[in-house]
């Protein structure tokens, strides 16, 4: 593997001269595409989103020079289903990757394959995480650098186009080395796609050594909602006893909750600081990619996308993990820099989804859309911040036997309201209880209004909207059933 500095200044200068000598007009070139995907990155853990402690100047620069989507969401808050939705523009019930152990279907249309067929040189580098025990090169990519499962922050074995390599060093830096080297090896004037999948900031959180102690002096406490569970569904309360709540079965920091003892608060703070630390290395990675594209004269001819696959609860409502439809779980960061189309920096407030990424990329590249997808191109609202757009979307998570602490989830979110319910499917219907939140006045989802008589009409309205959205997306009741006892007001409804 060659690093960014392996050829020294002479190599960099030669590459720059080659690119400058192409003699083509930048605007006339087909754009390159760089997608940087993080794992479990909360939408608010960037300084451009207002985080008071985690400073991300390189990511912030993308926001300052491009478009930041302030209300971006995943349609399933789970790594593999969300990644499949990003590639295909489809909800999980349509692409079939319903859990973290299922392969992305090799024959399913996706944007990297479409770009490759149209002449782009395509690379996937980093965490793929669809097919837990398979690291073989996947269709649609000319260059492949990935590994089995989650990978490790140190000592991950990569499959590099069929050759095994275990590079020394920190995961985030290693995959960035591969990515930078791929960019520098591209033929001037020939478009490329680089899809870089970081492990960070997924658990178990191990920061790069230089960032291990950077937040030691920052006071970290449980979020206010960690212990405020009045009105929450029974499965949330049971999770505290059965699955150790805040720390969860996936986290080894502590196995007891609720726990306000000083040593417990100390453990929670250490876990949170470690999470933050991994993000700083991601910001370094974004900076290196930015500088590399700038050095070869292709920065402004590159659609540069930075995003997360899903959010993460960090103590809110007594939970760590994702899967649920609560705001920290479903909100993601999404930034797009591409000056030829998005000439003015902008913050877009409309609700956008992971399924919108594939159609946006193909639209910006001037290629035909994928067939029968659920997403829409973001190009027009990114240009102006205005225009007709969705006013609601539905969310779906399917119960996993391997992770029994979260039941099936179906819900609908609008700009102002959220309705969540838990259809049968995990064998414990007595645990289920719907949730209703007025997000405009209660953004932290503290007050569940589901039993408020004054909101009965609102609940009926949102149930109808949820069913409508599911039908439009062909999420048929026999595959994604609403809960028993819900009577639809649509004449053709057959709800189980």
Please provide the DSSP assignment of 422-453 as one string.
--S-SS-GGG---EEEETTT-TT-----TT-G
Please provide the DSSP assignment of 23-72 as one string.
---GGGSPPEEEEEEESS--TT-SGGGT-SS---HHHHHHHHHSEEETTE
SS3 of residue 374 by DSSP: coil
SS3 of residue 82 by DSSP: helix
Does this model's pTM top 0.95? My answer is: no
For residue 210, the number of C-alpha atoms closer than 13 Å in the C-beta half-sphere is 8
pLDDT of residue 415: 97
How many Å separate Cα 138 from the centre of its chain? Answer: 20
Rounded to whole angstroms, the Cα distance separating 61 from 40 reads 21
* pLDDT at residue 420 tops 90: yes
For 100-136, write each residue's pLDDT tens digit. 999 999 999 999 999 999 999 999 999 999 988 899 9
* pLDDT at residue 19 tops 60: no
What CA–CA distances, in Å, run from 88 to 44, 84, 327, 454?
Answer: 26, 6, 24, 41
424 versus 57: which is more confidently predicted? 57
**Poorest-confidence range of 72-76, 252-256, 304-308, 313-317?**
252-256
pLDDT of residue 493: 31
Alpha-helical segments (H) within 89-133: 92-95, 111-117
For 334-359, write each residue's pLDDT tens digit. 999 999 999 999 999 999 999 999 99
pLDDT of residue 235: 85
Name the band, by pLDDT with cuts 50, 70 and 90, for residue 403.
confident
SS3 of residue 404 by DSSP: coil
59 versus 259: which is more confidently predicted? 59
Mean pLDDT of 8-28: 40
Least Cα distance to 352 among 364, 344, 360 occurs for 360
* pLDDT at residue 16 tops 70: no
Least Cα distance to 34 among 200, 176, 201, 135 occurs for 176
User: Is there a contact between 103 and 128 (Cβ–Cβ < 8 Å)?
Assistant: no
Rounded to whole angstroms, the Cα distance separating 133 from 199 reads 16
pLDDT of residue 109: 98
pLDDT of residue 120: 98
Long-range contacts of 50-56 (CB under 8 A, 24+ apart): 53/215, 53/218, 53/276, 54/276, 54/279, 54/280, 55/280, 55/283, 56/279, 56/280, 56/282, 56/283, 56/286
pLDDT of residue 358: 98
Name the band, by pLDDT with cuts 50, 70 and 90, for residue 208.
very high
Sheet of 32-38, strands arranged across: 163-165, 158-160, 143-146, 121-126, 192-197, 32-38, 302-308, 334-337, 67-69, 346-348
Peptide linkage before 204 cis (omega within 30 of 0): yes
What CA–CA distances, in Å, run from 120 to 13, 117, 291?
Answer: 24, 7, 22
Output the CA angle 331-404-353, nearest 5 degrees. 20
What CA–CA distances, in Å, run from 398 to 76, 135, 317, 350, 423?
Answer: 9, 25, 20, 26, 10
Percent share of the chain, pLDDT over 70? 84
* pLDDT at residue 495 tops 50: no
């Amino acid at each position: 593997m060659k690093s960014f500095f392996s050829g020294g200044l002479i190599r960099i200068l030669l590459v720059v001269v080659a690119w400058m000598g192409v003699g083509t007009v930048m605007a006339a070139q087909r754009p390159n595409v760089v997608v940087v995907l993080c794992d479990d990155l909360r939408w608010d853990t960037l300084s451009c989103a207002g985080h008071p402690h985690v400073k991300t100047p390189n990511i912030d620069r993308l926001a300052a020079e491009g478009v930041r989507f302030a209300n971006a969401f995943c349609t399933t808050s789970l790594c593999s289903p969300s990644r499949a939705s990003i590639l295909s523009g489809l909800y999980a019930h349509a692409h079939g990757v319903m859990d973290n152990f299922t392969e992305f279907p090799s024959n399913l249309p996706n944007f990297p394959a479409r770009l490759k067929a149209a002449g782009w040189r395509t690379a996937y580098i980093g965490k793929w995480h669809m097919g837990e025990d398979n690291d073989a090169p996947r269709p649609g990519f000319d260059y492949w650098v990935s590994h089995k499962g989650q990978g490790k922050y140190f000592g991950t074995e990569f499959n590099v186009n069929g050759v095994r390599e275990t590079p020394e060093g920190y995961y985030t830096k290693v995959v960035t080395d591969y990515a930078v080297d791929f960019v520098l090896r591209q033929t001037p004037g020939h478009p490329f796609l680089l899809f870089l999948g970081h492990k960070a900031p997924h658990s178990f959180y191990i920061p790069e050594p230089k960032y291990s102690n950077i937040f030691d002096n920052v006071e970290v406490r449980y979020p206010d909602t960690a212990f405020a569970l009045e009105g929450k569904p029974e499965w949330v309360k049971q999770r505290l006893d059965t699955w150790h709540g805040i720390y969860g079965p996936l986290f080894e920091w502590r196995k007891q909750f609720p726990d306000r003892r000083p040593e417990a608060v100390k453990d929670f703070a250490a876990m949170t600081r470690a999470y933050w630390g991994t993000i700083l290395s991601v910001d370094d990675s974004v900076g290196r990619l930015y500088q590399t594209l700038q050095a070869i004269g292709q920065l402004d001819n590159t659609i540069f996308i930075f995003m997360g696959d899903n959010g993460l609860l960090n103590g809110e409502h007594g939970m760590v993990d994702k899967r649920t439809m609560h705001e920290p779980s479903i909100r993601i960061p999404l930034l797009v820099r591409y000056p030829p189309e998005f000439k003015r920096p902008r913050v877009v407030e409309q609700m956008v989804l992971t399924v919108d990424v594939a159609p946006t990329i193909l639209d910006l590249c001037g290629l035909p859309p994928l067939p029968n997808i659920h997403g829409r191109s973001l190009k027009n609202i990114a240009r102006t911040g205005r225009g007709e757009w969705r006013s609601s979307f539905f969310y779906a998570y399917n119960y996993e036997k391997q992770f029994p602490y979260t039941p099936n989830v179906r819900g609908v979110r609008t700009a102002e309201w959220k309705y969540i319910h838990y259809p049968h499917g995990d064998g414990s219907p007595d645990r289920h209880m719907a949730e209703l939140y007025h997000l405009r006045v209660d953004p932290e989802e503290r007050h569940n209004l589901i039993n408020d008589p004054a909101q009965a009409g609102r609940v009926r309205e949102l149930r109808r909207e949820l069913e409508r959205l599911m039908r439009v997306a062909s999420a048929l009741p026999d595959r994604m059933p609403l809960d028993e006892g819900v009577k639809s007001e649509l004449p053709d409804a057959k709800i189980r």
